Amino acid sequence: MKSKISVLIISFLLIISAKYSFSQIVEPVKWTFSVIQNTADEAELKATAKIDEGWHVYGQFFPDGGPIRMDFKFTLSADYKIIGKVKESPVPHKEMDDIFGIEVQYFEKNVVFTQKIKILSEKDFTVTGELNGQACENSGRCVPLSSELSFKLKGKKKNDTEQLIESKTVKDSVVISKTDSAQSDSGKIITTQRSKTTPIIAKNNAWTGEENSEGSSLFWFFLVALGFGLTALITPCVFPMIPMTVSFFMHSAESRKKSRMNALLYGISIVVIYTLPIALIIGISNVIGNDSVSGDFANFLSTHWLPNVFFFVIFVIFAASFFGMFEIVLPNWLVSKSDKQADKGGLIGVFFMAFTLVLVSFSCTGPIVGGILVQSTQGGDFVKPIIGMLGFSIGVALPFTLFAFFPEMLKKLPKSGGWLNAVKVVLGFLELALGLKFLSIADQTYHWGILDRDIYIAVWIAIFMLMGLYLVGKLKFAHDSELPFLKVPRLIFVIITFTFVIYLIPGMFGAPLKALSGYLPPQASHDFDLMKMIHGESSSDICDVPKYNDELHLPHGLTGYFDYYQALECSKEQKKPIFTDFTGHGCVNCREMEANVWADPRVLKILKENYIVLALYVDDKKIQVPKNEWFTSTYDKQVKKSLGKQNADIQIVNFNKNSQPYYVLLDAQGDVLAQPRAYDLDADAFVKFLEEGSRKYKELNK
């Protein structure tokens, strides 16, 4: 058995090494940046491109609707002032492009781009920025160009002669896949062909390291999974096996030290059995480029009605199993075969003892494991299932190991009884409540209107009311034993359950229920919102009627746009920056941000008075973009038709991010005004973020 596992692990490592050994890195352009500082207060910034044979780079000056033009963005600073436009040398080649139907300009072999600046600072400083463009091979293959700019200059009062300051050569980080499609650093394919209707947001190099809480989110998910693993121990399938298993180790003929070592290996085996298959499936699929781990599949899994309705049905089946309607069991031959292997003893025997535990306890742990895996894949992050299984398996294995090391603790364990089935039934109620979230995601994404916020809360009230009645003994299932009186632990759970029900009731009338904001449908779907009637809406002035406002809504009564171009035009008209919210109907963290951060009076005031609010839903499946606004993207190699796909492409192309929420502040030209932000419930930091963007916008438009 050990040799087979070793072969499997070695094969996996060989696949990984082969993947990265044969990846083709294409760098058709090498950049060198230099400064010519002839006078005390003027300088020329030069970007020199050496172009490989058979490739060409497009220039800056030709009509819209063609290839990607070269574009230079310099970080704004009080140290200098830009003079004129970036100049090109030598004269570019001109040619009519039959595909785009326009005359394009391009360079071969080499090109020098020069930007003249006026020096304002008396101290030495560095000019930074970013260039973006496109290089194409004569055969038709194209890659995007993106390089950082860095120029060191001396202050204007220093009497320097002409000086050439060579900075480091920055290579274009362009990766070409097997299908010759351009990819970003994270492996997500980005578009290389854009029509004139495709929004290209000008990124500012100063804002490249946005804040995020992915590490923290994974840590909390690990703790939740660990808690479910510990909970699985007190189910009827697992709890009786604790003393039996520990006794096997303690009463064997082996030495106490060796028994403890076997117990430790037993615990490690449980972790490996639960975690390794998930890690191998995801890892190998990712290495060979299987679509099951691509960004599109993650989006499909998270937002499409089919998997979400399927997950909802699965959770209902799991709940019915916990209620005692039937048992989810594995074939008897599988359990028997594993048990025979365990009888052989030694390391192989210890491993198969752990495997037998996993098989025997499947009817209780299977629904919990399924719930963790389904919940983890909803975020589109395929590291989460591995983290989830690791946490769950440690929760299951840890007590077995601890009791084997300290057998005297067994005396403190409660005796088996009817309470074990009660735990199982309570888990059934929780599975039913959590499963409702998947049906809600499909309902919001496709605008079915069958599970609005008030209906959702009403169903939860019914579920937890029934759970409370069950705990007090007023509701019984087939496998329950008699409950002559309530014990103190059970009474505590009864109090917690009915307190939660009472907490839910104001939500029927529009109360925000901030503690549950991530799991409830958005406030805008509430039919009878008493809070809005009392306090009124917090609307803001806009230029014209927003597109898609009959299907999409902003929280807290804010008014804004759901189309990038409409927001851009309004920004130019009202001379306000744009608050861009990349969001989703099924985004848990988005709802938490709206309930806990957007609801802050300071945030609402700034959004209403200082910004054009733009919400770009990346998972909307129902709204179709008009035909004249379609554009082809190699991100998914198909024409973008739904509004959600269009918005997802905007985020990936411009920011190399596909997670939500993601907040970007833009001016009317599409320039980023401040460091983009992700999920963070710090309202004070969010206020500073908005104020910084507003201040920067005013500086640019003096």
Q: What is the CATH number of the domain that holds 638?
A: 3.40.30.10
Same domain, 270 and 128: no
- Predicted confidence at residue 428, as pLDDT, reads 86
- Predicted confidence at residue 515, as pLDDT, reads 78
Question: Is residue 524 assigned to a domain?
Answer: no
What's the predicted TM-score (pTM) here? 0.52
Same domain, 157 and 225: no
406, pLDDT greater than 90? no
622, pLDDT greater than 90? no
- Span 22-46, mean pLDDT? 77
Spatial separation of the C-alpha atoms in residues 8 and 512, rounded to whole Å = 51
Q: Which two tokens stand for residue 160?
A: 């320097």
Q: What is the average pLDDT score of the chain?
A: 74
Report CA-CA distances (Å) from 273 to 52, 230, 396: 51, 17, 12
Question: Is residue 59 assigned to a domain?
Answer: yes
Spatial separation of the C-alpha atoms in residues 618 and 299, rounded to whole Å = 9
Question: Is residue 434 assigned to a domain?
Answer: no
Domain end, chosen from 418, 441, 463, is at: 418
DSSP helix/strand/coil, 11: helix
- Predicted confidence at residue 351, as pLDDT, reads 79
532, pLDDT greater than 90? no
Same domain, 277 and 134: no
Tell me the pLDDT tens digit for each residue of 479-517.
888 888 888 989 999 999 999 999 999 988 878 787 787
Question: Is residue 335 assigned to a domain?
Answer: yes
Q: Which two tokens stand for residue 58?
A: 């497009």
- Span 683-692, mean pLDDT? 92
C-alpha torsion sign, points 408, 411, 414, 420: positive
684, pLDDT greater than 80? yes
Same domain, 245 and 361: yes
Spatial separation of the C-alpha atoms in residues 190 and 654, rounded to whole Å = 9
Same domain, 303 and 382: yes
Strand partners, 366: none
Q: What is the tally of structural domains in the chain?
A: 3
Tell me the pLDDT tens digit for each residue of 638-668.
455 678 888 888 887 788 777 788 999 998 8
Residue 598 burial (CB count, 10 A)? 20
Buried b (16+ CB within 10 A) or exposed e, 516-551: bbbbbbbbbbbeebeebeeeeebebebeeebbbeee
Longest dimension (CA), the chain: 98
- Predicted confidence at residue 264, as pLDDT, reads 83
With cut-offs at 50, 70 and 90, classify the pLDDT of residue 293: very low
Spatial separation of the C-alpha atoms in residues 151 and 141, rounded to whole Å = 31
Domain end, chosen from 176, 194, 225, is at: 176
- Span 46-58, mean pLDDT? 88
603, pLDDT greater than 80? yes
- Span 465-479, mean pLDDT? 90
Question: Is residue 268 assigned to a domain?
Answer: yes
Domain end, chosen from 176, 201, 224, is at: 176
Length of the chain: 702
- Span 281-307, mean pLDDT? 57
For residue 47, give the CATH number of its domain: 2.60.40.1250
Tell me the pLDDT tens digit for each residue of 337-354.
665 666 566 677 777 777
Q: Which residue has the higher pLDDT, 662 or 280?
A: 662
Tell me the pLDDT tens digit for each residue of 65-93.
678 888 888 887 888 888 888 889 888 88
What is the domain range of residue 561?
Answer: 535-700
- Predicted confidence at residue 9, as pLDDT, reads 45
Spatial separation of the C-alpha atoms in residues 17 and 178, rounded to whole Å = 17
With cut-offs at 50, 70 and 90, classify the pLDDT of residue 95: confident
Q: Which two tokens stand for residue 567?
A: 């927001």
Same domain, 238 and 170: no
Same domain, 316 and 244: yes
Max mean pLDDT among 8-17, 429-438, 645-654 falls in 429-438
Residue 441 burial (CB count, 10 A)? 27
Contact of 305 with 382, CB cutoff 8 Å: no
Residue 98 burial (CB count, 10 A)? 7
Same domain, 247 and 375: yes
Same domain, 234 and 328: yes
Tell me the pLDDT tens digit for each residue of 370-390.
666 666 555 545 677 788 888
- Predicted confidence at residue 500, as pLDDT, reads 94
Question: Is residue 294 assigned to a domain?
Answer: yes
Q: Which residue has the higher pLDDT, 268 or 239?
A: 268
Report CA-CA distances (Å) from 32 to 90, 168, 518: 16, 7, 48
Spatial separation of the C-alpha atoms in residues 308 and 569, rounded to whole Å = 37
Q: What is the 3-state secondary structure (H, E, C) of 588-625?
A: HHHHHHHHHHHCCHHHHHHHHHHCEEEEEECCCCCCEC
310, pLDDT greater than 80? yes
Spatial separation of the C-alpha atoms in residues 321 and 327, rounded to whole Å = 5
- Predicted confidence at residue 21, as pLDDT, reads 39
Q: Which residue has the higher pLDDT, 646 or 429?
A: 429
Tell me the pLDDT tens digit for each residue of 106-153.
898 889 999 989 888 888 888 988 888 888 887 666 777 878 888 888
463, pLDDT greater than 90? yes
Same domain, 249 and 363: yes
- Least confident piece of the model among 179-193, 540-554, 564-578: 179-193
Same domain, 218 and 165: no
- Predicted confidence at residue 174, as pLDDT, reads 32
50, pLDDT greater than 50? yes
With cut-offs at 50, 70 and 90, classify the pLDDT of residue 440: confident
Same domain, 542 and 661: yes
Question: Is residue 7 assigned to a domain?
Answer: no
With cut-offs at 50, 70 and 90, classify the pLDDT of residue 602: very high
Within 8 A by CB and 6+ apart from 403, the residues are 242, 243, 246, 409, 410
- Least confident piece of the model among 299-303, 391-395, 578-582: 299-303
Residue 611 burial (CB count, 10 A)? 25
Tell me the pLDDT tens digit for each residue of 54-66.
888 988 888 876 7
Kindly state the percentage of the chain with pLDDT values over 90: 11
Question: Is residue 499 assigned to a domain?
Answer: no
Spatial separation of the C-alpha atoms in residues 181 and 601, rounded to whole Å = 46
With cut-offs at 50, 70 and 90, classify the pLDDT of residue 231: confident
Q: Which two tokens stand for residue 54?
A: 């058979």
